[in-house]
Amino acid sequence: MAESWVNSAESLGADLHLELSGAGSRRAVLMRALREAVRSGRLAPGTRLPPYRSLAADLGIARNTVADAYAELVAEGWLTARQGSGTRVAQQVAPVAPVGRQRTPARAGRPAYDLVQGRPDPAAFPRGAWLASARRALTLAPHDAFGPGDPRGRAELREALAEYLARVRGVRTVPDRVVVCSGAAHALRLMASVVGGRWAVESYGLPFHRGLLADEGVRTVPLAVDEHGAKVGELGKVRAVLLTPAHQFPTGGPLHAERRAAVVDWARSTGGLVLEDDYDGEFRYDRQPVGAVQSLDPDRVVLMGSVSKSLSPTLRLGWMVLPERLVDDVVAAKGEREQHSSATEQLTLADFITSGAYDRHVRRMRRRHRRRRDQLVAALAERAPHVRVSGIAAGLHAVLELPPGTERAVVKAAAWQGLAVEGLSDYRHPDVPADRHDGHDRRDGLVVGYATPPEHGYAGALDALCRALPPE
């Protein structure tokens, strides 16, 4: 009785379905079937093919036929062969779009370079140090860490944050006034549900945050900004004001000392509330960071922060430092069970902070980001000296000032260079129309996230950026 192919010693590789049909030799028919499988996308770039002995046994053809077909397709560039890695579909082979769908042009696909702000390089995450903290945290975790969560957050993390923020940002608080959340968006939702009413926001800021507040029933009115931050002297009848005092997002100016004092005076005299988004407060490069506005009046200022810029947004860990009168209301708004932040990750972050690993990581990233910003400034000085970098040396992004009327064209030119980057107007409040002259700044610019690219891709990203900039 003939041996079944299922039990054959040669049939030990991965399965591969091929239709061997049409005229020609067995080798030609096999090569045609393999090319078609690659063209259609059924065999993706990098896919490992079965060993030729295994495929020959499966198809019922001679081993030499398969070996010759593989060798010729390697020579043509369809396949690659490497000792110890087997035969694979070549990485550069692009599949043909399926019937009925238009093939997407290469330039419309994923950009080769990414300078969109807001994301630190994922490769910079301190995996070893984080893993060490996770092991210690899990080893020492009390049993209640694996039960229902405290809506305020783990006590270990709140204590660590109170000490760290006091030491690094000058914050005046105690652990009972710290509430853990999953990031700035979560904090804003909670504050919107508790405070409500009408808020003033900076005329440039994250559209996502404005949309989130609108969904919670909060109407926002724009507050003009200049090189000294928000013009808080223009605050009208609002219940709260949302600011980025350490490093105005995205224009880059810090809130001037006189304005810091003025906004606290406004809150005291009107009963209003200041919400301080301290999104990248640790990352200032030209001098030591200025302390938080919260330190001027802990009963009138809510400080919000997270690890999304310093570690990773995927951790979903943030915090609010609250006036005592708001703690119970915020906890009630969160609900009885913590559903956003993992207790084990909270314990890990607490250990990461108290062990000193967080300080070491921030200092390391501060040097890295400063070097990145210096490279950006140097590239512009050499290739586009007419383009100025505005704002202070801080954070993970910079704004490049452009000639009036050129922003959209430059963003489009960048896309043709394979570069993703955003225009400054994308962040402008919709209630600041471009055809009015009411003190709002409407400059053209690019928001360049210099922390985003991996190390090996940063030089290429800067080159693509410079090619997209308008001539002098």
Backbone φ and ψ for 302, nearest 5 degrees, come out as: -105, 125
Residue 109 has pLDDT above 70, yes or no: no
Which residue, 230, 288, 218, 286, is CA-closest to 256?
A: 230
Those residues with Cβ within 8 angstroms of residue 96's Cβ, 6 or more apart along the chain or in another chain: 39, 40, 41, 103
Percentage above 70 pLDDT, the chain: 90
Rounded mean pLDDT, 380-398: 92
Those residues with Cβ within 8 angstroms of residue 208's Cβ, 6 or more apart along the chain or in another chain: 185
Q: What span, in angstroms and rounded, lies between the C-alpha atoms of 24 and 69?
A: 13
Q: Which residue blocks in 62-154 are alpha helix, DSSP H?
A: 63-76, 127-140
Q: What span, in angstroms and rounded, lies between the C-alpha atoms of 286 and 382?
A: 22
Report the chain's mean pLDDT, rounded to a whole number. Answer: 87
Percentage above 90 pLDDT, the chain: 59
Rounded mean pLDDT, 327-331: 95
Contact 191, 302 (CB under 8 A): yes
Residue 9 has pLDDT above 50, yes or no: no
Contact 328, 139 (CB under 8 A): no
Both tokens assigned to 167: 């030491």
Which residue, 212, 209, 205, is CA-closest to 229?
A: 205
Which residue carries 């512009």 as its tokens?
380
- Specify whether the backbone of 418 is left (phi greater than 0), alpha (psi in -120 to 50) or beta: left
User: What is the structure's pLDDT at 73?
Assistant: 85
Rounded mean pLDDT, 283-292: 85
Hey, what CATH topology would domain 113-122+360-468 get? Aspartate Aminotransferase, domain 1 (3.90.1150)
pLDDT digits (tens, 9 = 90+) for 411-457: 999 999 999 999 999 999 988 866 545 555 678 999 999 998 988 89
Buried/exposed code over 17-55 (b: 16+ C-beta within 10 A; e: otherwise): ebeeeeeeebbebbbbbbbebbeeeebeeeeebbbbbbb
Q: Where are the beta strands (DSSP E) in 110-269?
A: 113-114, 178-181, 198-202, 219-223, 225-226, 229-230, 240-243
Q: Which residue has the higher pLDDT, 202 or 41?
A: 202
User: What is the structure's pLDDT at 14?
Assistant: 67
Q: Report the side by side order of strands in the sheet with 398-402.
A: 388-390, 398-402, 444-448, 422-423
Contact 48, 88 (CB under 8 A): yes
pLDDT digits (tens, 9 = 90+) for 51-81: 888 888 888 898 889 888 888 888 777 888 8
Q: How confident is the model at residue 41 (pLDDT cuts 50, 70, 90)?
A: confident
Both tokens assigned to 394: 């801080």
User: What is the structure's pLDDT at 132?
Assistant: 96
Rounded mean pLDDT, 166-189: 94
Domain ranges of the chain: 19-103, 113-122+360-468, 126-356
- The bridge status of strand 113-114 relative to strand 419-420 is parallel
Q: Which residue has the higher pLDDT, 341 or 177?
A: 177
Q: Which residues are registered as beta bridge partners of 201?
A: 222, 242
User: What is the structure's pLDDT at 372?
Assistant: 94
Residue 275 amino acid letter: L
The architecture of the domain spanning 19-103 is Orthogonal Bundle (1.10)
Residue 129 has pLDDT above 90, yes or no: yes
Residue 471 has pLDDT above 90, yes or no: no
Both tokens assigned to 308: 């999304």
Contact 204, 244 (CB under 8 A): no
pLDDT digits (tens, 9 = 90+) for 206-243: 998 999 999 999 999 999 999 999 999 989 899 999 99
DSSP string, 141-169: --GGGGSSPPTT--HHHHHHHHHHHHHHH
Hey, what CATH topology would domain 126-356 get? Aspartate Aminotransferase; domain 2 (3.40.640)
Q: Which helix (H) or strand (E) holds 444?
A: strand 444-448
Q: What span, in angstroms and rounded, lies between the C-alpha atoms of 317 and 130?
A: 14
User: What is the structure's pLDDT at 13?
Assistant: 53
DSSP string, 303-338: EEEESTTTT-GGG--EEEE--HHHHHHHHHHH-SS-
Buried/exposed code over 114-148 (b: 16+ C-beta within 10 A; e: otherwise): bbbbbbbbeebebeebbebbbebbeeebeeebeee
Backbone φ and ψ for 304, nearest 5 degrees, come out as: -120, 135
Rounded mean pLDDT, 267-293: 90
- The bridge status of strand 318-321 relative to strand 422-423 is unpaired
Contact 134, 266 (CB under 8 A): no
Q: What span, in angstroms and rounded, lies between the C-alpha atoms of 330 and 353?
A: 25
Both tokens assigned to 238: 């609002």
